[in-house]
Chain A
Amino acid sequence: MSGPHYNFAYLNEQTKRMIRRAILKAVAIPGYQVPFAAREMPMPLGWGTGGVQVTAACLTAEDTLKVIDQGADDTTNAVSIRKFFVKTANVATTEQTEEATIIQTRHRFPETPLKENQILVYQVPIPEPLRFLEPRETETRKMHALEEYGVMHVKLYEDISRFGEIATAYAYPALVNDRYMFDPSPIPKFDNPKLDQSPALQLFGAGREKRIYAIPPYTKVKSLDFEDYPFTLPTWEKPCAICGSKTSYLDEILTDDQGGRMFVCSDTDYCRKNQVAK
């Protein structure tokens, strides 16, 4: 390998130990946001520096890494991060969800169900679900400590009074293990039910905000709602235009400037497999 020599997975061993300690604490207290000393990474904040650090701390030489951005394996963020770990850790990579042992994701939970030996790492921009209602960090920490989550419903109330339904479509707040209110990062609310009782370990890293939190395998994750406005999943009128899936999350793609558009799976790996199966 030419070019500069990197320590395995870029970060030095002490830093990885520090991050692992934070991860262990996060796993021990599901949904609790553990502060950690996030490092500068060779990419801008907002590009997944938190997720990259968590992945770096979890990665071993035997791991197979998959990186997705909005469900796709071939978009800029996914390609760059995958290349980064190939260069610094020389790990195997894959685009197949079932072959990966660590999946770093931005904005999606894969359509293919995860297994017990897999870790899903989320890149989180704003870890604090209460930030919309309470700008003070000291106050939000107190609210978490005292389990004062009633105000979270104020946000949903506002949605219903304005739009007639709970219009929050992503970063949909949920309660982890009946205790901590958490923000599942900007995944669509379509993915929220998949977080519940998932066999895979789910780790969340926020680089700018210096927070790590986790959902251990088989943990209860309950999306908030009202008794008379229950949590609902979005639906589409047509199936995926490429693979014909009726159950996956669809992206809207503009095809020309004449108003032409198509709806296709956001999970490219899942879509490709469906096409092959046909």
Chain B
Amino acid sequence: MNGLLTVDNITKNYGSRVGCHPASFELWPGEVLAIVGESGSGKTTLLKCISGQMDPTSGSVRYTKRDGEQILFQNLSEAERRFLMRTDWGFVHQDARDGLRMGVSAGANVGERLMAVGDRHYGHIRKSAADWLRQVEIDVERIDDSPWSFSGGMRQRLQIARNLVTAPRIIFMDEPTGGLDVSVQARLLDLMRGLVRNLGLAAVIVTHDLAVARLLSTRMMVMQAGSVIETGLTDQILEDPQAPYTQLLVSSVLQV
């Protein structure tokens, strides 16, 4: 049996500088994988390489489609890649402004993916948009408001709704709680945990925040200087870190 996503020796070089040393892993349906590490450790590079946002220097990504057929992402045509990226996959950017269409209303943001896959019924699109706003705890009355009028946390939730509307199977998140204040972070995490569990989504989450990893993820990868230095179950790594750097990371979390 194949995993949902099979990543094989992905590397990325920026000229002579290494962004990411060979990394391999397998993601299973419904599993949440956290990639943690300090800034500049190659987390985001790795995430972008496996999610099609960036071309890796070498290595391959295989994806198992709904019909069970495994496809090599690098072999797909650009049209197929883009189709996959707006149907079966979702990407949540750290800065919601990168992931949203800021010039149009919240409802249009959520509905865009539906229209992109061929939904041409306004009433249906509008109803789905309202449903999803409700699910991410945004007041439905704000469906026609511009994302500019939204707070940071609301924008982030809107971005999540926009990604989930086509019922993707994998969602990639780059520091989804970065830049939000702690209480908003907690609510967002709670929401994401609920969504991931209820929808049976697989997710890859990049974060430098171990609390986020602990709350959301089942498995964890620790990166340092472009290399994966430790992998394992989240609880296991956080309770009993093996690599010196992981030990440092775990012990440096502030205890209140």
Contacts and interface: CB of A to CB of B under 8 A. Distances in A.
Interface in B234-252: none
Given A133-B101, A146-B78, A161-B126, A226 B108 contact: no
Contacts of A228: 121-123
B120 A157 contact: no
Interface string A141-169: 01000111011011101101110000000
Contact of A150 (B78, B103, B115, B126): B115
B115 A157 contact: yes
A218 interface: no
Given A158-B104, A160-B122, A228-B121, A151 B111 contact: no
A154 B123 contact: no
Nearest to A161: B144
Given A226-B121, A228-B121, A150 B112 contact: yes
Contacts of A161: 105, 107-108, 126, 143-144
Given A133-B101, A158-B104, A153 B144 contact: no
A157 B107 contact: yes
B82 A146 contact: yes
B101 A227 contact: no
Given A133-B101, A228-B123, A157 B111 contact: yes
Contact-residue bracket for chain A: 20 to 34
Nearest to B143: A161
Contacts of B125: 157
A160 B121 CA distance: 12
A150 B116 contact: yes
Contacts of B126: 161
Interface of B: 78-79, 82, 101, 103-105, 107-108, 111-113, 115-118, 120-123, 125-126, 143-144
Interface of A: 133, 142, 146-148, 150-151, 153-155, 157-158, 160-162, 225-229
26 contacts: A133-B101, A133-B104, A142-B78, A146-B78, A146-B79, A147-B79, A150-B112, A150-B115, A151-B112, A153-B120, A154-B104, A154-B111, A154-B112, A157-B122, A157-B125, A158-B105, A158-B108, A161-B105, A161-B108, A161-B126, A161-B143, A162-B105, A227-B120, A227-B122, A228-B123, A229-B122
Given A154-B108, A157-B108, 15 more contacts: A133-B103, A146-B79, A150-B113, A150-B117, A153-B115, A154-B112, A155-B104, A157-B104, A160-B122, A161-B105, A161-B107, A226-B122, A227-B120, A228-B121, A228-B123
